[in-house]
Amino acid sequence: MSALDQGDDTRDGADLRRFAQRADLLVAAVQELSLARDLAEIQRIVRTTARALTGSDGTTFVLNDGGLYCYYADEDAIAPLWKGLKFPQETCISGWVMRNRQAVIVPDIYADPRIPHDAYRPTFVKSLTMVPIRTLDPIGAIGAYWADTHVPTSADLQLLQALADSTSVAMENLRVQGELERRVIERTEELTRANSAIRALSVTDELTGLTNRRGFYTVCERAMAHIRRVMLVYLDVDGLKRVNDLHGHAAGDDMLTGFAAVLRVALPEANVLARLGGDEFCAALFDPVASAEDMRRRLAAALDVFNAAATRPYRLSFSLGIVEAEGGDAGMLDSLLQQADELMYREKNARRVAN
């Protein structure tokens, strides 16, 4: 074998070893890309791997911005290039690559009319190659740049395109993952709203919108252990059965919702306003400031305003009993309700006797 043949064999062996090393770099990058969870991580992997694969002086990661612009999202270079800038696709080489869906090699940028020379003059670039990220419908491009005149080999171009193809898969996976996460978040929010609505319905009186008996007990029993004093205002709407019998249940329902409105106006500071059932209502005030007499006066004033506001087939009135007690014992709630109920009935019976 001649010395010339031996030299050729040595070069071929060196080229094979170099290709094998770069192939290993590509395999490692593909594995990293498969684990990337955001675009910044994908950009980091691509810019560093592209430079190592091509032996270039700089690389850029370009995104297709709405089919109109090229956005230079990231770079790894010996001097600044165009990171963070946008260019119209019809005026730059990355736009040409994306629109034509093919790679390009430019040995001398100043001899190629597709290159915007003014944008390149402040840079070190003399030669470049660029490949599309996804050839079918490009979502970006990867560029490699050299400070001296350089023509990459076909192997260089194949490796760079393989990196770009793997990048497109990683970006699509990222998009799908983001869509799935968005749907999970939306579904979770829907379920949370539904559960909140269900919980609200389970403790809300459907007719008046006040708390129901279950909700009243739930709130009060939890609060009793932490408050100093509690005031219960127990109320009964007078004449509900008679209104139902004479004017129908629609009028009776109107009577109950009207009374709920009176309670809201008269007792805005109440911690719980509840319809316990039928014509019975109760307001609970934790550590109240107002006195029982204040409660009576305010309820009477709100009732007068309600009765004077419109013509109805009934006149709203009520009986009430008010009890106050020390807090600290949730077990005393039933006893307090019974005391307030008894006081309310005494008042109702006294009014019947008087009439």
The model's pLDDT over 15-34, given as tens digits with 9 standing for 90+, comes to: 678 878 888 999 999 999 99
pLDDT bin (cut points 50, 70, 90) of residue 320 is very high
Per-residue pLDDT, 175? 86
Per-residue pLDDT, 149? 95
- Please list, in sequence order, all residues whose beta carbon lies within 8 angstroms of the beta carbon of residue 306, skipping any fewer than 6 positions away: 258, 261, 262, 316
Q: Give the lowest-confidence range in 60-64, 221-225, 246-250.
A: 221-225
Per-residue pLDDT, 7? 47
- Residue 294 sits at φ, ψ, to 5 deg, of -60, -40
Active site residues per annotation: 279
Instruction: Report the alpha-carbon distance of residue 143 to residue 161 in Å, rounded.
Output: 10
Per-residue pLDDT, 119? 92
Average pLDDT over residues 223-247: 92
Instruction: Report the alpha-carbon distance of residue 94 to residue 64 in Å, rounded.
Output: 9
pLDDT in tens, 264-308: 999 999 999 999 999 999 999 999 999 999 999 999 999 999 999
Rounded to 10 deg, the angle between the 3-35 and 154-202 helix axes is 10
- Residue 11 sits at φ, ψ, to 5 deg, of -65, -40
- Helices within the chain (DSSP H only): 3-35, 39-54, 93-100, 117-120, 154-202, 213-224, 240-247, 249-266, 292-309, 333-354
Instruction: Report the alpha-carbon distance of residue 40 to residue 141 in Å, rounded.
Output: 15
Instruction: Report the alpha-carbon distance of residue 94 to residue 62 in Å, rounded.
Output: 7
Per-residue pLDDT, 192? 62
- Helices within 36-153 (DSSP H only): 39-54, 93-100, 117-120
Instruction: For residue 114, give the amino acid letter.
Output: R
- Residue 319 sits at φ, ψ, to 5 deg, of -120, 150
Per-residue pLDDT, 4? 44
pLDDT bin (cut points 50, 70, 90) of residue 226 is confident
pLDDT in tens, 68-106: 999 999 999 999 999 999 999 999 999 999 999 999 999
Partners of 39 in the β-ladder: none
pLDDT bin (cut points 50, 70, 90) of residue 200 is low
More confident residue, 328 or 13: 328
Q: Give the lowest-confidence range in 34-43, 174-183, 321-330, 337-346.
A: 174-183
